[in-house]
Each structure stands twice: as structure tokens, then as C-alpha cells.
């Protein structure tokens, strides 16, 4: 089983690149954002709670996120592996993911981080907000707050995975195809 955590700040291109990794390496793509949106659209209790945090540009509490993602992994228990997009976001979630995967005799094989400058992220997210209708991309203040939260609460995971020898940084700026080639090169070394 091959398990990849695709990492980076909001707007780094995780969703786009996760789809390419999924297709290239025959993995199941589990996007925290997609899981949240599905729960929100279906007005599940977890979805309603998640929406209240997302509207403020804040991260959804760990246990809500962990519960949603555990369900998705369980639904795909015979998969060749997973590409996790937007999860884990902190040490508690990373530990929960380790525990979850260990139940399937697996582990996180690599955390691949898409590295992008903040101003590029802000432009990407505001542009996406113009067409997506996503409330968390609709305001520069909310977008900047999401990036700030990423650095203060989430970026610590770099050290967590570096300590395990599983961290790989990849330049997330350039043509989509070029970024995909950079990611594939890392995965091919695993």
C-alpha cells in the first residue's frame, strides 16, 4: 500500500495534483475539502459544524475531521493506497492518521509539500473564489487568515515527517504539467 500526504497551504494546488497522483499511481484520493463539502451539502451534523468554522476561515476541529476521514478510509479498505489532500493538518491528526493506517498494516510513506509564495496563494484563492462560490475564498481577509493559520498550526508537520525521513518539498509554482513531473519524480523514489 502506498500512502502519500499531499501538503501545502491553501491554494497550493493540492487538489489538482492529487488527481494526477491518483490516476498515475492508482490511488484513492481523499480530499478533506471534498469530504467537508459532501457532508455540508448533505447537511450532516458534522457538515453543519464544519461549515460554521470554514465560514470564518478557521480550521475545523480535529475530531470532526478525523471522524470524516476515518469513514472515507473505511469505505476504501481494499485500495492500493491513498493520497491525502488537506489531512493531516496538525500533530494530533498526524497521529490519528498513523493509528488509522496501522489498522490496515500501512503507514504514511511520504509527505510531499507543494511550496508556493503567499502572494501567489492569495491571488489563486481569490480567483478561485470568483468562480467556485466557496465562502472561504471570497474575501482577502479570510484567505490571509487561512494562510496564517496554516503557518501557525499546520506547518509544524514538516518537522514531524522530516523526523521520520518522509518529508519531500516540491516547488509548486509553474505549469501544472511541470509540477506534476516534480511530484511523480518524488513518488518514483519511494
pLDDT of residue 67: 85
Out of 125-129, 133-137, 143-147, which region has the weakest mean confidence (pLDDT)?
133-137
Domain count across the chain: 1
- The answer to whether 94 touches 159, Cβ cutoff 8 Å, is no
Q: Band the pLDDT of 153: cuts 50, 70, 90.
A: confident
Q: Is 127 a catalytic residue?
A: no
Residue 132 lies in a domain: yes
Residue 141 lies in a domain: yes
Residue 138 lies in a domain: yes
The residue range of the domain holding 34 is 2-185
Residue 114 lies in a domain: yes
- Residue 97 maps to which CATH number? 3.40.50.300
Q: Is 182 a catalytic residue?
A: no
Q: How would you classify the pairing of strands 110-115 and 2-7?
A: parallel
Q: Is 146 a catalytic residue?
A: yes
Residue 190 lies in a domain: no
Mean of per-residue pLDDT scores for the chain: 89
Residue 176 lies in a domain: yes
- Which tens digits make up the pLDDT trace of 11-41? 899 889 999 999 999 999 998 878 888 889 9
Q: What is the DSSP letter of 175?
A: -
Q: Is 14 a catalytic residue?
A: yes
Residue 161 lies in a domain: yes
Residue 36 lies in a domain: yes
Mean pLDDT over residues 136-157, rounded?
Answer: 84
* Alpha-carbon gap, residue 168 to 165, rounded angstroms: 9
Catalytic residue among 75, 103, 127, 134: 134
Exposure of 149 by Cβ count < 10 A (0-12 exposed, 13-18 middle, 19+ buried)?
Answer: middle
* Alpha-carbon gap, residue 6 to 115, rounded angstroms: 11
Q: Is 144 a catalytic residue?
A: no
Instruction: Provide the b/e sequence for 63-81 (b: ≥16 CB within 10 Å).
Output: ebbbebbeebbeeeeebeb
Amino acid at each position: 500500500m502506498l500512502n502519500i500526504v499531499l501538503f501545502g497551504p491553501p491554494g497550493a494546488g493540492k487538489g489538482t495534483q492529487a488527481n494526477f497522483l491518483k490516476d498515475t499511481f492508482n490511488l484513492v484520493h481523499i480530499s478533506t475539502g471534498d469530504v467537508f463539502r459532501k457532508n455540508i451539502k448533505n447537511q450532516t451534523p458534522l457538515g453543519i459544524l464544519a461549515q460554521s468554522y470554514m465560514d470564518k476561515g478557521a480550521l475545523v476541529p480535529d475530531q470532526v475531521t478525523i471522524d470524516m476521514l476515518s469513514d472515507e478510509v473505511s469505505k476504501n479498505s481494499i485500495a492500493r493506497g491513498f493520497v491525502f489532500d488537506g489531512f493531516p493538518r496538525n500533530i494530533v491528526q498526524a497521529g490519528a492518521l498513523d493509528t488509522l493506517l496501522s489498522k490496515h498494516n500501512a503507514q504514511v510513506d511520504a509527505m510531499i509539500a507543494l511550496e508556493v509564495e503567499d502572494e501567489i496563494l492569495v491571488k489563486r484563492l481569490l480567483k478561485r473564489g470568483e468562480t467556485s462560490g466557496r465562502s472561504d475564498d471570497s474575501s482577502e481577509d479570510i484567505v490571509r487568515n487561512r494562510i496564517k493559520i496554516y503557518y501557525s498550526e499546520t506547518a509544524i508537520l514538516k518537522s514531524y515527517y522530516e523526523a521520520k525521513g518522509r518529508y519531500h518539498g516540491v516547488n509548486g509554482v509553474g505549469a501544472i504539467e511541470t509540477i506534476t513531473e516534480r511530484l511523480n519524480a518524488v513518488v518514483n523514489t519511494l
